[in-house]
Structure 1
């Protein structure tokens, strides 16, 4: 089983929060929008620190490191053939300025022609209900976990949670609750086997 770690950045907006997602690059994802976005993430080897990997992959896919701050652990979930571990952190980021690293792919298939494509072709902030429809299905569970954490279901004995000191208000669970399809492929296919590492 492959291992992957990601960082879900969130920021306050009136009535709740927004999360920063990335649209997966490459020809397979071109023109797709629903369930074609991802938490910035990437693969790592056994023994590596997943929290450090999440920061590293965020930096590679968006071109700049995430802002520092308190970090929430949102646990792990299975997505296709890998186990994804996600962390969340409050902060802001200029999505329009994101510049991704690239990967090489033979395209069209069996053409003998290799082209470079960005790992992610854009980044954008979404409220939680909208994000639930954008994310690949195997990652939607992390939105629910984030909402639960911020709403206070996992608060400590003092009733606080990371982000209080920067004025984040509690929010409700996403209004849409798509079922988590543990076997849902992130969209990978023989035509384009690449997804964010």
Structure 2
């Protein structure tokens, strides 16, 4: 059986310093509540073929953030394999979004573990705009490659666009 696959959208916008900022999502639930470094992700989610990765990225953005994905040029940033084996495919798109307007989806888990009590938690508990430098340490290690790829694409050295 093939490994798990996820797809997501990395939003970027012009920053106050003339550079860019990227939108990251902090993972929700009790396991991530007190963590910052390595606890942020590109908004993404799992999909199964025959669903196309870009369609999945747009669907998951809507599910995770509770709003329609932005329109615009979708710049492919390729794939990374995370430490658990999941392959993540990401597109960048220029857009602005107010972090206070998100309405995250939820999931259930037994908490505390072994208690037999199912509790509901948000899939993501907050989103925020960060400079690439600020985003780097916050991101899951494997996803840091997307920041470098976005910089390359915006500098004119990266992959073409897709829609």
Over 4 Å off, 4+ runs: none
Any idea what SS the aligned residue of 1:130 has? helix
Mapping of residues 33-182 of structure 1, within 5 Å? 33-79=36-82, 80-154=84-158
Partner residue of 1:2 out of 4, 23, 30: 4
- Is contact 1:74–1:142 with CA below 8 Å preserved after alignment? yes
Bigger CA radius of gyration: 1
TM-score by length of 2: 0.93
Aligned counterpart, 1:29: 32
Aligned-residue RMSD, C-alpha: 1.5
TM superposition shift of 1:66: 2.2
TM superposition shift of 1:99: 1.2
Aligned CA distance change for structure 1 residues 155 and 140 (closer, same or farther; 3 Å): closer
The unaligned stretches of length 5 or more in structure 2 are none
Q: Determine the C-alpha separation between the residues in 2 that align with 1:154 and 1:146.
A: 8
Aligned CA distance change for structure 1 residues 51 and 130 (closer, same or farther; 3 Å): same
Query: What do the CA deviations read for 1:1-24 (whole angstroms, capped 9, x no partner)?
Result: 111000001001232110000000
Any idea what SS the aligned residue of 1:58 has? helix
The unaligned stretches of length 5 or more in structure 1 are 163-197
Query: What do the CA deviations read for 1:139-193 (whole angstroms, capped 9, x no partner)?
Result: 000010001110121377xxxx89xxxxxxxxxxxxxxxxxxxxxxxxxxxxxxx
TM-score by length of 1: 0.77
Q: Is 2:23 aligned against 1:20? A: yes
Any idea what SS the aligned residue of 1:84 has? strand
Q: Determine the C-alpha separation between the residues in 2 that align with 1:43 and 1:154.
A: 25
Query: What do the CA deviations read for 1:37-87 (whole angstroms, capped 9, x no partner)?
Result: 000000000221110110111111111012200110000010122110000
Q: Determine the C-alpha separation between the residues in 2 that align with 1:155 and 1:106.
A: 43
